[in-house]
Amino acid sequence: MTDMANKERPHYENAPITEALITIGFFPEEFGEDQAARVQKLAVLEFPGSHFQLESWIGNSPIREDASGTTPIEDSGKVVPYSVTVGKGSFSFSRLQPYDTWEDLRQHALSFWNRFVDEFTITKITQLSIRTVNRIPVNVSQDRKANLTDFVQLFPVWNLHAMPWTMNDFFLNVHLTVPDKGIAVRIREGTVSPKDGLGPTILFDTDVVTRHGLPEHPKDVDAIIARLEVLHQVRNQAFEATITDLVREMIA
């Protein structure tokens, strides 16, 4: 097994990322119908002529819109590479498939964030987080069962003497802390059943969150980038510590 702790992480051409998000907590937290309409206008300015999914949370009710103002997202038949979710005290920008690069996501998220800060007079950042959702295909021949340890290094363990049974599916929810960096990590890992003729996949969903070392000014882009880079490094470390060499070969 390759030890990635002291090696530079490779760039994966076929990264199995289905969605990547940057979320920024902010103050003041007020958000209602008027603010939702203003966010839609900002989306049109940021991405003129393109389709852009917007979800506004007013209370506990989500309002989903196609910010281009033309056809509904689900009926447009067009690729919607970006999505924004805004609500009380929370701004989330995500890149959907096809995923490009971390730098692309960060650039577009912070560009839109700057417009958002100006429009709503945001005075403070209260939290930063990044999240990536990966679906790793389990490619095995039909004449043998998949061995989970061929793909991941984080897996459930149980007493085989007491329960000598075959595992069909699993789901793990692991919470970790990185005390010296003031960061919390949550890893959700599990199997996703075959769908639409595709084989089974392993879900690897990770959140990396911090409320420490935050920029003093909400438009201090350099400070935001510096903190996001630390989160991104922790996220990469968690991913590399969980996958195997076989998966690295599959997504190289």
**pLDDT reported for residue 76:** 44
**Do 244 and 153 touch, CB atoms closer than 8 A?**
yes
Mean pLDDT per segment of 10 residues, for the chain of length 252 residues? 56 85 91 77 70 57 47 43 82 86 93 92 96 84 67 85 84 94 95 69 94 96 97 96 90 84
Question: Cis omega before residue 98 (within 30°)?
Answer: yes
CA angle at 10 for the pair 211 and 226, rounded to the nearest 5°: 25
**pLDDT reported for residue 125:** 97
CA distance 142 to 155: 22
**pLDDT reported for residue 75:** 37
**pLDDT reported for residue 235:** 96
**pLDDT reported for residue 37:** 78
| Residue 224 in tokens | 């935001």
**Do 131 and 207 touch, CB atoms closer than 8 A?**
yes
Is the four-CA dihedral 242, 244, 247, 251 of positive or negative sign? positive
Are β-strands 82-87 and 124-137 bridged in parallel, bridged antiparallel, or unpaired?
A: unpaired
Tell how far CA 190 is from the center of its chain.
Answer: 16
